[in-house]
């Protein structure tokens, strides 16, 4: 795939995708929210959120999609967790009115240890963060730990075959096929309860329209 961006620009885009910072990070996050919105809505749908659910989102970005999540049920307790302080500030700004009337909080963490008690959440979702997990098995174990018995975790990711063609995908990314994700889950206590796969045309971070295939893997804590 050709790109009119320089090598240094592509490296900066990759850096911002893994942890958005500053004004450019805010612009990248806005682009991510637009290009990922269908993926996000499908992931929310997969979770089948119910009244009084406690939802954790790992890597919420600017969280411009939060109203869509909250519209699924009543009295949802939402917690966003992100490694980017810039994204936490943006999420708080974007959802200031919602935070007045809903149980919402945004928390910063180090990308490894999840700072919550065991079985704190009934539902967990994460979209396009899998590539950046430095210790994938540890992260799965952490997600399992904070998920309540009977809870559901939805992990959404674009397929390796698609991602490897993108000009800004470099060393910061660890790419996965569905088989790779199954092998990863086998190293954790989770059970795979389902996989849904979709293909859609989206505008990439380098302003090209590309056909993206992605999957939502649903995990259960029994």
What is the CATH class of 7-103+113-220? Answer: alpha beta
CA dist., res. 95 & res. 120, Å (int): 22
Q: How many CB atoms are closer than 10 A to CB 21?
A: 14
* Domain ranges across the chain: 7-103+113-220
Farthest-apart Cα atoms in the chain, separation: 49
| Least confident span in 30-34, 77-81, 109-113 | 30-34
Whether pLDDT at 159 is above 80: yes
- Per-residue pLDDT tens digits for 100-126: 999 999 999 999 999 999 999 999 999
Structure tokens at 64: 């411009």
Element of type H or E holding 155: strand 147-158
Whether pLDDT at 1 is above 80: no
Whether pLDDT at 42 is above 50: yes
CA dist., res. 43 & res. 58, Å (int): 13
> pLDDT tier at 203 (50, 70, 90 boundaries)?
confident
Confidence at residue 2, expressed as pLDDT on a 0 to 100 scale = 44
Structure tokens at 75: 């009295």
- Name the average pLDDT for the chain: 95
Q: Please, which residues bridge with residue 198 across strands?
A: 214
Burial class of residue 79 in the structure, from the number of CB atoms within 10 Å of its CB (0-12 exposed, 13-18 middle, 19+ buried) = buried
| Helix/strand/coil for 154 | strand
Whether pLDDT at 170 is above 70: yes
């Amino acid at each position: 795939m050709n790109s009119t961006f320089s090598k240094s620009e592509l490296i900066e885009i990759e850096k911002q995708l893994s942890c958005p910072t500053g004004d450019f990070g805010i612009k990248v996050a806005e682009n991510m929210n637009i290009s990922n919105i269908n993926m996000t809505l499908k992931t929310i749908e997969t979770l089948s959120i119910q009244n009084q659910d406690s939802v954790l989102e790992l890597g919420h970005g600017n969280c411009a999609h939060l109203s869509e999540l909250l519209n699924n049920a009543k009295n949802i307790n939402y917690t966003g967790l992100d490694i980017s302080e810039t994204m936490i500030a943006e999420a708080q700004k974007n959802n200031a009115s919602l935070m007045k009337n809903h149980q919402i909080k945004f928390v910063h963490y180090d990308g490894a240890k999840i700072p919550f008690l065991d079985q704190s959440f009934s539902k967990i979702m994460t979209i396009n963060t899998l590539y950046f997990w430095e210790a994938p098995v540890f992260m799965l174990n952490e997600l399992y730990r904070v998920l309540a018995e009977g809870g559901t975790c939805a992990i959404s990711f674009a397929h390796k075959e698609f991602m490897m063609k993108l000009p800004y995908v470099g060393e910061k990314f660890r790419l996965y096929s569905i088989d790779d994700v199954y092998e990863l889950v086998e190293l954790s206590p989770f059970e795979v309860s389902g996989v849904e796969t979709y293909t859609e045309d989206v505008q990439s971070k380098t302003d090209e329209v590309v056909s993206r295939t992605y999957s939502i893997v649903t995990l259960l804590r029994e």
